[in-house]
C-alpha cells in the first residue's frame, strides 16, 4: 500500500498530471501560470531529458509552449521531505536554483529534518552560497510574496 501512495505512486501521478497540463495546452493559454510541485519534482527531473526527446510527438506536437519552456518558466520544485543529496544532484542537473524551494512534508517529515537538509546541502558543496540562500528562503519570498524572519 505504501508504494502506491507516499513511496512512489503519489509522485508518479503528480508528474503525469503536470505533463497532462502541458499536453492539454494549459501553458499555451496561460503562459504566466506558476505551479509549485513537491518531492524533488515528482519523478520528472529523472525523466526530463527522455520526455523532452519525445515531447514533439502526439499531443505535444500542437503546443507552442514546450516541455523545457514550461519547466524553466512555470514550474517551481520543492524538496518536500525528499532529503536526499542524490535526488538533489539530479534536480540540480536540469533545474535552476531560482526554481527550487526547500520544504518539509509534514507530518511525514519535520522542520528539524528540513533544517538538517539545508545544512547537508551547504556541507556538500553542490550549491553555491547564493543558490543555497535561494533554495532555503529567497525563492519563497519572491514567489509567494512573504518575508522570512
Contacts of 86 (CB under 8 A, 6+ apart): none
Q: From 43, 34, 105, select the one nearest 76 (Cα to Cα).
A: 34
Q: Does the bond joining 107 to the residue before it have cis omega, within 30 degrees of 0?
A: yes
Helix axes 111-124 and 85-94, enclosed angle (nearest 10)? 70
Residue 75, classed as helix, strand or coil, is strand
What's the grid cell of residue 83?
532529503
105 is catalytic: yes
Q: How far apart are CA 12 and CA 17, in angstroms?
A: 9
DSSP secondary structure code for residue 60 in this structure = G
Catalytic residue positions, numbered: 105
Amino acid at each position: 500500500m505504501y508504494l502506491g501512495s507516499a513511496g512512489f505512486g503519489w509522485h508518479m501521478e503528480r508528474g503525469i498530471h503536470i505533463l497532462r497540463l502541458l499536453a492539454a495546452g494549459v501553458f499555451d493559454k496561460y503562459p504566466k501560470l506558476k505551479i509549485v510541485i513537491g518531492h524533488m519534482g515528482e519523478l520528472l527531473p529523472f525523466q526530463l531529458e527522455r520526455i523532452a526527446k519525445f515531447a514533439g510527438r502526439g499531443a505535444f506536437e500542437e503546443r507552442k509552449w514546450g516541455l523545457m519552456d514550461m519547466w524553466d518558466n512555470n514550474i517551481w520544485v520543492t524538496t518536500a521531505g525528499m532529503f536526499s543529496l542524490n535526488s538533489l544532484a539530479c534536480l540540480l542537473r536540469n533545474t535552476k536554483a531560482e526554481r527550487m524551494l526547500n520544504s518539509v512534508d509534514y507530518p511525514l517529515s519535520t522542520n528539524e529534518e528540513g533544517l538538517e537538509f539545508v545544512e547537508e546541502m551547504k556541507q556538500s558543496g553542490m550549491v553555491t552560497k547564493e543558490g543555497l540562500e535561494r533554495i532555503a528562503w529567497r525563492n519563497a519570498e519572491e514567489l509567494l510574496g512573504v518575508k522570512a524572519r
